[in-house]
Structure 1
Amino acid sequence: MLFLPTGFALDVSSPTFKSEVLVLGKQAQGNALAFLKKHGSSAAAAGTALKALRKIHKLGKLNDHIAQYHDRLDQGAVVDPTPSAALPAFIRVKPSQ
């Protein structure tokens, strides 16, 4: 979500829902790994990447991505059937400006 710059719209009733999720996931993964590399991490495995993202988040370097995600969400550019309770806490809360 944070690494999809143009937003997305998912509809669970769509017959292409699963393939859309896979395509978006691959795009987000590539963007996330590029972001990590830009910030000095060579993480590729999920656990290692998550650990690196947590470290980067503590430094405040994810705040712009989180704020942009919330902007896209507020503008309706993100339509996601995922319940907000299932999202990581740092995504649910808008960063203070």
Structure 2
Amino acid sequence: MQQVLLFATVISPFVFGVIEVVKKAFRIPKNYIPLISMGIGLLAGVAAFPFTDMEIMLRAWAGVGAGLSGTGLFEIVNKREGFSKQENSEE
């Protein structure tokens, strides 16, 4: 269990950075951001096989944990309106 938490801590800043880039680059509904963060964390955990000898399920769990910490677990249950990249229209 300590390996999973340590691995999630290591990849969490990477996942957070990718999520911030995605939020700035694409106009997506805000309530989908935690789900996208979990997916990116899952992919990052699975893709990190050369850096650890953990089995794939443990890396996947660590990736999901890193994704949840990237957006904050509380955002999953909050109802959020709007989009991540607002259009600048002054009409």
Global fold match (TM > 0.5): no
Higher strand share: 1
Structure ranking higher in helix proportion: 2
